[in-house]
A and B are shown apart, each in its own frame.
Chain A
Amino acid sequence: MTSSKFGVERETFHKEDYENCPILRWAEIKAEHQREIKQIALLIAKGTEPWEEVDNIVGKIFHLTKADKQLIADALEYSLPYKAKKDGANAKPDDKEINSFLDTLTNLFQPFVGENSLKICRVRGFSSKSFEFFKVSFEHEYTANSTAEQLANISEILSTPLSASLIRIKLDSNKWLVGQLSQRRYWSKTRARLMALEWLDSGFLSNRES
């Protein structure tokens, strides 16, 4: 359910979302899951907070994949309408978050580049308060150096007002420079997954030279 939001004086949601939510009757739940639910209920009654176990059993009942669970975790981290969450989502990502994003993107995309080696590396050479950059290369030989012409090109783009959250510049036949807004919500693992899906779906791979 993603339609919930704050209205003028109370929270709002779409009734059809609740009607479509597949809440199972107790009798429809497998016996093994029923046993686990009872154990978790006992833990909650004792005052402990086994929320991870609650997430796990819900995942089992609804056959959620690891990716589904990550999507839910990211939605709760970056999309809730509370000030603290909004501020956190708009804050600058740290090195760990950016590296995690790039690792996820590389792992998802690597199987589709054939014999070429995929290199996705962060680029720190372009100083910008609002963007973080990385390079994508499909070559055997990878060089992370940037030419003066590329630097000038990026500087020109960044010097003008942008209403985009993503910049993708083709550096040569097998190399791209990608810049994303420097906000945590754009560097989640689900965002990396969305980017890989967009590349697969848009024929991005077909634009390179084999």
Chain B
Amino acid sequence: MTSGFVNLGTPPIRPTEPFAAFDAEIIRTIEKAICEAWNLLRCSARIDLSTANETDITKELQDSIIDVMNSGSVNGFVPELFNHPSRDGSVMDYSGNIQKRSQISQFICQNLCPYL
């Protein structure tokens, strides 16, 4: 079918997603944790954000996210459910093919113990 004034044509075939969509509440929880970690970092004497380079800020943010997780200050963002954030990891995008290289990756715990 060709596109025209009343017909925009057939949409491209999307690949099948390799994993189920994350619920919005999970994304919101992680977002809250990152905001909390950033606020902690801004008030902290650990690093001067105005002069530090990107790598140092990312590392401190990672530590700050771990602090938030261990403190339990963000509801649901707890070590029972989330792994410690990792840096410079490669992750799949929705198509399952392209590798995305994020500064910080936050994963849900998996493979706890095969015998339980």
Q: Which residues of A contact B (CB under 8 A)?
A: 2, 65-68, 71, 74-75, 78-79, 108, 110-114, 185, 188, 190-191, 193-194, 196-197, 200-203, 205-206
Contact = CB atoms under 8 A, between A and B. Distances in A.
B25 A191 contact: no
Query: Which secondary structure dominates where chain A touches chain B?
Result: helix
A200 B79 contact: no
A78 B112 CA distance: 15
B112 A71 contact: yes
A113 B79 contact: no
A112 B80 CA distance: 14
Contacts of B39: none
B26 A200 contact: yes
B21 A203 contact: yes
Interface string B70-81: 100001101111
B113 A197 contact: no
A67 B79 contact: yes
Contacts of B23: 112, 200, 203, 205-206
A111 B76 contact: yes
B112 A193 contact: yes
A111 B20 CA distance: 20
B115 interface: yes
B109 A197 contact: yes
Given A108-B78, A201-B108, A206-B21, 7 more contacts: A65-B70, A71-B112, A75-B113, A75-B115, A79-B115, A111-B25, A201-B20
A87 to B, nearest CB: 17
Query: Which secondary structure dominates where chain B touches chain A?
Result: loop
Contacts of A206: 20-21, 23
Contacts of B20: 201-203, 206
Interface in B27-49: 29
Contact of B108 (A71, A190, A200): A200
B4 to A, nearest CB: 37
Contact of B113 (A71, A111, A113, A201): A71
Given A65-B70, A108-B81, A114 B25 contact: yes
A61 to B, nearest CB: 16
B25 A190 contact: no
Minimum-distance CB pairs A-B, first 3: A111-B76, A203-B20, A205-B23
Nearest to A193: B80
Nearest to A81: B115
B114 interface: yes
Contacts of A113: 25
B79 A190 contact: no
Contact of B116 (A191, A200, A201, A205): A191
Contacts of B116: 71, 74-75, 78-79, 185, 188, 190-191, 194
A112 B75 CA distance: 9
B112 A190 contact: yes
A190 B78 CA distance: 14
20 contacts: A65-B70, A68-B79, A71-B112, A75-B115, A79-B116, A108-B80, A108-B81, A111-B75, A113-B25, A188-B116, A193-B80, A193-B81, A196-B80, A196-B81, A197-B108, A200-B81, A201-B108, A203-B23, A206-B21, A206-B23
